[in-house]
Each structure stands twice: as C-alpha cells, then as structure tokens.
C-alpha cells in the first residue's frame, strides 16, 4: 500500500487538504458544510454526483450519505458547519472531510495518509486533551464510496502530530537562514477567527499566540444583515458566499463575477453589492488591526516591525484584510497561496516524519506492522 504525506485543515469556513503525488504538491479547498442526502433523489433532480466539483461520500458503517461543500449549501438551508464547537476537530465530520478531500486528490483505490493537522493557538494551548482526541477520532482504516463510484475506496489514516495553526505557514515559507533567535510571526485570518502565532526558531512564544472570533464570516454576516435591512429579503448562504468571492476576486485585480440578485423583481447592481461588502470589510478590518495591535502590545506604528521578522499574513482573510494590516505593519508579507499556507507546511512536516518512519523500518496500523511505499 502506498503512503502519502497529508496536511489537513478543518477550518470553520473551508476544509483544506494538501498532499504530494509523484513529486508534485496538490491542494484542494471546499466549503465547510455537510448535509445528509439521498443520492437517488439527487440523480432524479438532475444532479451529476460524478462531477469533480461535487462531493458526496458514504462510509461503509453509516446508513446516510453526506454532501460536503457547495452541494451541501445548495441542498440544505441548515447545513452543518460546526462553528463554535471545538470538539468538531475530533468529530466524524472532520473524518468525513479528510477522507473526501484526500480521495478527491489521490486517485488510488487503496492508500494510506500520514496526517499533520492543526488547532487554533488558544485552543492548542488550553486543551491538550483535544490533541489526543483528534488522533483517536481519525486514526484507522475506512471503506467508503465517493460520488457513487462503483469501486469503494479503502484509506488508512495515521495522525502523525497535531500542531498549532501558524506553525504550518512558518514551516512552509520561513527562510531557513533566519536567525533562530529571531521571532517570526503569522496572522492567520480565517472564516470566523483571527489567530496570531509567534515563534522563536521552532518554539512558540505563548504570550503572543492569541485568537479572536473575528474573520471573513463576520464581514459576511454584516453584509447579509445590511442587505436584508435595505432590500427587505434575506440572502442565502450560497448567495452571500458568491458575493464575497466576487469582491475578493475584484480586490486581486481579477474579473468580478457577482451573482444575479433580485428583490421583488428588481435586479440589484454590482455597485450596490460591492458597496455593502466594502463597508463590512472595512469595519471588520479595523477590528482585526486593533486586535493585533493590542495582542502584540503595539504602542506605535513600527513596534511589530521591530520585533517580528517576518510577519506572514495567511488564510482566506488575506484577500479582504491584507491591505488594512499592511498599513500598520509595513513589512507584512503574504505567500502565493495564503489559503493553503498552513496545509502546505503541515504536509511538509508530514513528509519529513513519514520518511523518518520509513527509515525506522515499519509503520503500524491498529498495532500490526505493515510495509510502506511512499508518494
């Protein structure tokens, strides 16, 4: 059986996965949304569950199939996302997401993944038991079908370690020549949280590792509230997501494809939609900047620049809030792939640990030794 290093990021807005296939790093992100579905009913409705952008999986030991990602948002007004529940990291939902993304990236019918995943800074520090619970929840061998494939998949998961979010980005992008006594920092802005990570060499500086429940979803909710107040009709989560993505694309100089939104027969123009998002993003951006300044005791404009080098901004929030932070931290930088920055580092670390394990002669699953071939 072939083994692959794997970085797993079970975010509260996006599920990310990164692995290495034939020497090439591959990645995928899908929305954190789960809904029980009837695959026969989906087919009768004309949904092609074999499309690459559709994710429907069913574990062998479960009666129900689950749509994950965009299809879950389309099929359910109350899709599960686990927001606010820290135990979700050690749940069957995390397992389902891990298997789905891994099996989408890796074409083999049977394979093993050696997993590194992460927890938000404050959760990692305050809840050591959760790290063990994650390993207990994910480790094992699972048989399941993906998108109605005729041949079931069989995947073995072994969690190598759980690290603090932000550590992954520094593993992936920090210059190895950096002085080991220099403090490096990460500002990770996700869907619902902003997490700060600071390390001296590879050792976290706990007093600067903090989190706050504010992120892209905060701005999204503000935009949805403003829209409903102005146009007297609510936006669906899918509509709101499409509006936010269009704004993000526009901010990066790409073609903005705002969805067609109407209220009582009147189409709402792109300018009006953009204005609502811009106001929400500015308000949340100001809150994030204030949080960073307070957490890092930034008494003047150059305090962080003098203390931490480099300072990386990662996560999906980069596309909305990077410019706000850049004004306060002039040497702030962002990687080419900020969404998967942590995951890439997790996968890099998983690869190192997997090679070390191979060199030791064997790996185990459920207590029995097995031979390994790696990516």
Q: Do 151 and 188 belong together in one domain?
A: no
Q: Do 94 and 38 belong together in one domain?
A: yes
Q: Do 14 and 131 belong together in one domain?
A: yes
CA dihedral 50, 52, 53, 55 (to 10 degrees): 50
Q: Do 245 and 185 belong together in one domain?
A: yes
CB count, 10 Å around CB of 65? 21
Q: Is residue 169 part of a domain?
A: no
Q: Do 21 and 38 belong together in one domain?
A: yes
Q: What is the pLDDT of residue 368?
A: 41
Beta bridge partners of 27: 18
Q: How many domains does the chain have?
A: 2
Q: Is residue 173 part of a domain?
A: no
For residues 295-320, give the mean pLDDT: 78
* CATH code of the domain covering residue 68: 3.30.420.40
CA distances, 271 to each of 6, 10, 55, 126 (Å): 41, 34, 33, 44
Q: Do 215 and 286 belong together in one domain?
A: yes
For residues 356-373, give the mean pLDDT: 62
Q: Is residue 156 part of a domain?
A: yes
Confidence bin at 362 (pLDDT 50/70/90): low
Task: Determine phi and psi for 116, rounding to 5 degrees.
Answer: -120, 130
Q: Do 29 and 65 belong together in one domain?
A: yes
Q: Is residue 171 part of a domain?
A: no
Q: Do 156 and 246 belong together in one domain?
A: no
3-class state of residue 52 by DSSP: coil
Q: Do 142 and 232 belong together in one domain?
A: no
Residue 263 domain boundaries: 179-334
CB count, 10 Å around CB of 145? 18
In the block, which residue shows the tokens 């069913």? 58
Q: Is residue 172 part of a domain?
A: no
Task: Determine phi and psi for 215, rounding to 5 degrees.
Answer: -170, -155
Task: Determine phi and psi for 130, rounding to 5 degrees.
Answer: -65, -30
> pTM for the complete prediction?
0.87
pLDDT at 51 over 80: no
pLDDT at 178 over 60: no
Per-residue burial over 202-239, b if 16 or more Cβ lie within 10 Å, else e, is eebeeebbbbbebbbbbbbebbbebbeeebeeebebbb
Evaluate whether 339 touches 346 at the Cβ level (below 8 Å).
Answer: no
For residues 206-230, give the mean pLDDT: 94
């Amino acid at each position: 059986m072939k083994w692959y290093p794997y970085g797993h990021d079970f975010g509260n807005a996006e599920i990310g996965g990164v692995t290495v296939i034939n020497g090439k790093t591959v990645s995928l992100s899908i929305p954190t949304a789960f809904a029980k579905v009837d695959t026969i009913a989906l087919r009768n409705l004309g949904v092609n569950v074999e499309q690459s952008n559709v994710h429907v999986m069913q574990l062998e030991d479960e009666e129900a199939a689950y749509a994950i990602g965009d299809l879950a948002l389309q099929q359910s007004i109350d899709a599960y996302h686990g927001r606010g529940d820290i135990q979700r990291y050690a749940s069957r939902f995390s397992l389902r997401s891990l298997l789905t993304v891994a099996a989408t990236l890796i074409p083999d019918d049977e394979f093993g993944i050696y997993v590194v995943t992460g927890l938000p800074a404050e959760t990692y520090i305050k809840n050591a038991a959760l790290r063990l619970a994650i390993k207990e929840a994910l480790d094992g061998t699972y048989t399941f079908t993906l998108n109605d494939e005729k041949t079931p998949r069989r995947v073995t998961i072994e969690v190598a370690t759980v690290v603090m979010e932000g550590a992954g980005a520094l593993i992936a992008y920090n210059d190895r020549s950096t002085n080991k006594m220099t403090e490096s920092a990460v500002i990770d802005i996700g869907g619902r949280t902003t997490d700060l990570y600071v390390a001296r060499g590879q050792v976290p500086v706990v007093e600067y590792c903090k989190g706050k429940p504010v992120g892209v979803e905060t701005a999204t909710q503000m935009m949805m509230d403003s829209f409903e107040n102005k146009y007297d009709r609510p936006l669906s989560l899918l509509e709101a997501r499409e509006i936010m993505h269009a704004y993000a694309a526009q901010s990066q100089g790409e073609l903005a494809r705002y969805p067609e939104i109407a209220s009582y027969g009147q189409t709402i123009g792109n300018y009006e939609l953009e204005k609502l998002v811009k106001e929400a993003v500015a308000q949340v951006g100001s809150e994030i900047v204030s949080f960073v300044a307070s957490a890092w005791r930034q008494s003047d404009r150059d305090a962080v620049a003098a203390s931490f080098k480099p300072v990386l901004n990662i996560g999906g929030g980069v596309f909305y809030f990077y410019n706000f932070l850049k004004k306060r931290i002039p040497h702030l930088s962002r990687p080419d792939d900020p969404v998967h920055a942590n995951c890439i580092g997790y996968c890099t670390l998983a690869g190192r640990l997997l090679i070390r394990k191979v060199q030791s002669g064997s790996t185990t699953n459920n207590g029995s030794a097995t031979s390994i071939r790696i990516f």
